Amino acid sequence: MGTIVTLSLLSDGIQITCAIIALLTIKRQSSPILKLLAAYIVLTAIHAILLTTLGMVFHMRNHFQQNNYMYLRFPLLALIYYLSFRQFKSRGIWLCILFWCLTPFFLWFNFQAFGWNTIHIPYLTAGATMVILCVVLYLYNMLASDRVLNPARYPLFWTSIGLLLLFLTVLPSRGLLYLLVNNNLLLAQHASIPLFLMNLITYSMISADFIIQWKQQKAAELSASR
């Protein structure tokens, strides 16, 4: 239990740190994509704080908050990748549009089937699958583009790698958690360990992305002032 609590707090800490880095590095002239990514990270940090407060302080089930977050998280990620696909004139924009169109249906169906106090696993699965496909398409478009000379310094590269790793972990882990949570709480808690570890990796990568883009903006400003 001590290890799980420690990993949970470390996971929260890296998400909050990432949000602080995003707010410190975003500038007025930053691209809309980076501004939306910063908004996503701040939303994620607030969500992490709420989950910890509800679970560890008030000892409440926090499934309703996880649903609140999902229905904000995935459409926002779809918007980020929609704008990214437009830069490459990629057909991936239709994947984002399809997901937005299906979200109201998922919301209505899951609410009718599960209520709001049970995690909406069908929407989580659809959202995670959408992100994985968007990331793969985005990385393909980036690597195939002649104008991208250094992918590692291109916006969303490290973020995309981190999200790919995270959601490839989320799909099996969340399914296992859903099966275990009503049967064996101890096993369910141990099944959450991969998610906490992956959060540490993912949000470190996203933080690195913000720092790289900030350094490039500073270099461009310095070059322009000469």
* 39 within domain boundaries: yes
pLDDT digits (tens, 9 = 90+) for 1-48: 577 788 888 999 999 999 999 999 998 888 999 999 999 999 999 999
| Ramachandran bin of 89, using left for φ above 0, alpha for ψ from -120 to 50, beta for the remaining angles | left
Domain of 26 in residue numbering reads as 2-216
Q: How many domains does the chain have?
A: 1
| Whether the predicted pLDDT of 225 surpasses 80 | no
* 221 within domain boundaries: no
| Whether the predicted pLDDT of 175 surpasses 70 | no
Q: Pick the residue with more confidence: 189 or 144?
A: 144
Instruction: Supply the pTM of this predicted model.
Output: 0.91
Which residues fall within 8 angstroms of residue 125, CB to CB, at 6 or more apart? 171, 174, 175
Stretch (H or E) spanning 33:
helix 32-52
Stretch (H or E) spanning 79:
helix 63-88
Stretch (H or E) spanning 203:
helix 193-225
Measuring CA to CA, how many Å separate 137 from each of 10, 11, 31, 91?
A: 31, 28, 20, 9
Q: pLDDT confidence of 188, banded at 50, 70, 90?
A: low
Distance CA 100, CA 192 (A): 28
pLDDT digits (tens, 9 = 90+) for 77-116: 999 999 999 999 899 999 999 999 999 999 999 999 989 9
Q: What is the CA radius of gyration of the chain?
A: 18
Per-residue pLDDT at 105:
96
**Helices and strands of the chain, counted as H and E runs:** 8, 0
| Whether the predicted pLDDT of 207 surpasses 60 | yes
Per-residue pLDDT at 35:
96
* 77 within domain boundaries: yes
* 47 within domain boundaries: yes
- Among candidates 134, 184, 182, which has minimal Cα distance to 161? 134
* 226 within domain boundaries: no
